[in-house]
Chain A
């Protein structure tokens, strides 16, 4: 495109559109996360989870749907790195990629089974509050024939997007429990990360 030309080439036009789209998308990542936004994220995620629970699909199909929700609303790479603990430091980029992928499928299968038992139940988002450098979105899980219990989702924008990085049921953190689990798996396999990845893939 010459300097004095007021015509815009097709390529330039496309580039402008892309830039414009990027600018429009910016506020989401550029402005600090707020209580309202953290709550909105989990409102959406809970609505999708409730829809899956009441879908009447097979467990395998529900697990695939849960995995989609997890990937969409959760910061899975960070969760995987945290669950892996110190071993993450010595892992190669390729190992981290396959571990993250396998971990995602494993989480969906493991917690999908639990959520699958929720049939007829649902998750109601109550409120959100700042906690340290992130937000805690508090919800209540109501299951048929059981007393309701507290579920919290921890939301942060540190990844560049609003995403949850932990789910806490009656004080029990998914991340902490999985750190124990993955640590136990590593110990059993002599610290062999590839063996852990294979076994996680087998679960999902």
Chain B
């Protein structure tokens, strides 16, 4: 699947590259600004299909901004302007013929704070399915069960699908949100610090889940927890001040970073 890494002798650091046909996302020269405040500068990277890719970096480095650009969540903010291209399976996501709700169905997202809707557990998972419509009751039940099972939650909630989603614990809520995203069968799942608000046990479960899901879809994880990135991701991109500094297989990045900047961050010696 992956092509042999090609190291770029550049001012930044090594940037791993993948063949376009093995890539899910291809980001080309992406720049982004909130008003006149630049958040991202000239970012180019390819995200491999069916792998877990982690974005790490200090707070305010733009990793979340980059993630939210991938499903056009910035569209809501009129101040945001961007340049460059983002290709999903070779297609520009900003092309006029792309419907943004269709895009977001293909690129699901899980947020830092669990955000189940104030509905029953079942209705939460069925939310995206009902938007599409045209499903029989039985088919819907099947998908809901599959999604909850895929999110490792089915066993805990199968007897109380009609209970309010807000009655679940934080960790369960986050897995419910993952199930909700999985139910619409996305190609990519964006995870924005999905475990930072959870306790260690719940965090462990979420990480297990992420590792297990990559056989079904591509996962992109933003985290400020480097151990987590090391534990679950296959590739890691290090961002700083809105720039992509280094992008390498996770093992390489953590054991043998090509730049002093990266090493300093990873070992906790931030300038």
- The answer on A and B forming one complex is no
